Structure 1
Amino acid sequence: MSGDAERRFTRGLVEVRAAGTSRTIGGYAAKYNALSRNLGGFVERIDPGFFAKSEGDGWPEVLARYNHDDNRLLGTTEAQTLRLVTDGTGLDYSVDVPASREDVYELVQRGDVRRSSFAFYTFADDWGMSEQGFPVRTLLSGSLVDVAPVNTPAYLDTSTGLRSLAEKAGAELDEVRHAADENALRRFLEKPPATVIDLAPSGGQGDPHPLVALRQRRAELLQRRTP
């Protein structure tokens, strides 16, 4: 598991789901298989099985926090004031906003806060290329930390993803970071060209390639053994 938590946002809207005393808001914190925007030389997609471990464990200690702020707690899975559901689209959340956070409920109700985000640790990922030849990181499994309605969604830090690519490619992290700045990460994902063995005579000296010489020697031996 990566030592650093990562944050991503979804283009799905956060919305009011119940009024009155419950003041429930919610939306999709993550959507599966949707390519992200350019994260700095690569894009990401979330595999449908990414949250399976957290879901199977009962979503332990997952929080809902406004703008991922510890001082703006909205609900928790332990208190069942935060409820999480996965479906064919992604990870959906509903949180009952406390009276002390009435401003958050009102901002969502008015449409001032429209996006959601989630924080996570990555257990496993994979790298490949899109049909357009752009590097793609696929998040395969991980642990959910929190979900959050946010003012300005942003990809805050992609260093963990670049570290993952560096490890898979056997490269230095600084080298991968420099390539990301140059939009040149694809060189770490492209297979090296196959080695071609030149069977033609070398250097114009008239000496055959060793493999050719070996075949010729075998042919001569066979001819000698033939009565």
Structure 2
Amino acid sequence: MRTNTFETRSGGDLRAISTNKLTGYAAVYNSLSQDLGGFVERIMPGAFKRSLAKPDNIRALYEHDHQKTLGRVGAGTLELTENSKGLYFELTLPDTTYARDLGVLVQRGDIAGCSFGFRVPENGDRWDIRGGVLTRDLLDVELHEITITGNPAYLDTTVAVRSMEQWRKINSDRARSLEALWIETL
């Protein structure tokens, strides 16, 4: 049974194209994440397709802070598109103190990362062991937000670890094999 927990992940390629407009990739496809607490993750092409079919409530935030909204698709201040590289965005910053400060920090290169917040629906991910590494492929996600962040590392792994525990229960024999392989390499 899916727990439907909220997760966040990082991406890259943030640029300021003017004092009030940012562009970049909130997610990059087919790129393995860092270790997320016993597994790695990869976003597959098309993972955002369903979300982008009805994107009006997807927002851009500053540091995953819901009090610092930067834009929303439905307002026309955030544009999201999938291309062969990943989830591309264009964001027109609001005329607020935190957004003006953010624009300056991005132009200086002090903030250069992106992230996104999502939930995984039933059958939206696939777990497998590849080369002795537990790997989660994200096939379909419910995208809720993208965020601009000064810390573009994976920010929240505790909810993803709960999903890994669910996989282990369902695939207990494979999980034991992975743990045995891990212990042998110590």
TM over 0.5: yes
Structure 1 residue ranges (4+ consecutive) displaced by more than 6 angstroms after TM superposition: none
Indicate the residue corresponding to 2:34 in structure 1. Answer: 37
Indicate the residue corresponding to 1:125 in structure 2. Answer: 125
CA contact (8 A) 1:9 1:116 kept: yes
1:167 positional shift: 2.9
CA contact (8 A) 2:71 2:92 kept: yes
1:187 positional shift: 2.5
Does structure 1 residue 91 correspond to structure 2 residue 90?
no
2:56 to 55, 60, 80: 60
Q: Higher relative contact order by CA 8 Å / sep ≥ 6: 1 or 2?
A: 2
Instruction: Provide the aligned length of Structure 1 versus Structure 2.
Output: 172
Aligned residue type for 1:115: G
Indicate the residue corresponding to 1:225 in structure 2. Answer: none
Indicate the residue corresponding to 2:9 in structure 1. Answer: 8
Structure 1 or 2: larger strand share? 2
Indicate the residue corresponding to 2:138 in structure 1. Answer: 139
- Counterparts of residues 180-219 of structure 1 (less than 5 Å): 187-188=175-176
Identity %, equivalent residues:
36
CA contact (8 A) 2:15 2:107 kept: yes
Aligned residue type for 2:107: Q
1:186 positional shift: 6.2
Indicate the residue corresponding to 2:18 in structure 1. Answer: 18
* Structure 2 CA distance for aligned equivalents of residues 189 and 72 of structure 1: 45
* Structure 2 CA distance for aligned equivalents of residues 105 and 94 of structure 1: 13
Indicate the residue corresponding to 2:112 in structure 1. Answer: 114
Structure 1: give runs of 5+ residues left out of the alignment.
177-184, 191-227
Indicate the residue corresponding to 2:184 in structure 1. Answer: none
* Structure 1 CA distance for aligned equivalents of residues 93 and 167 of structure 2: 42
TM-score, structure 1 as length reference? 0.70
Judge which range, 28-37 or 147-156, deviates more. Answer: 147-156
Indicate the residue corresponding to 2:151 in structure 1. Answer: 152
CA contact (8 A) 1:135 1:186 kept: no
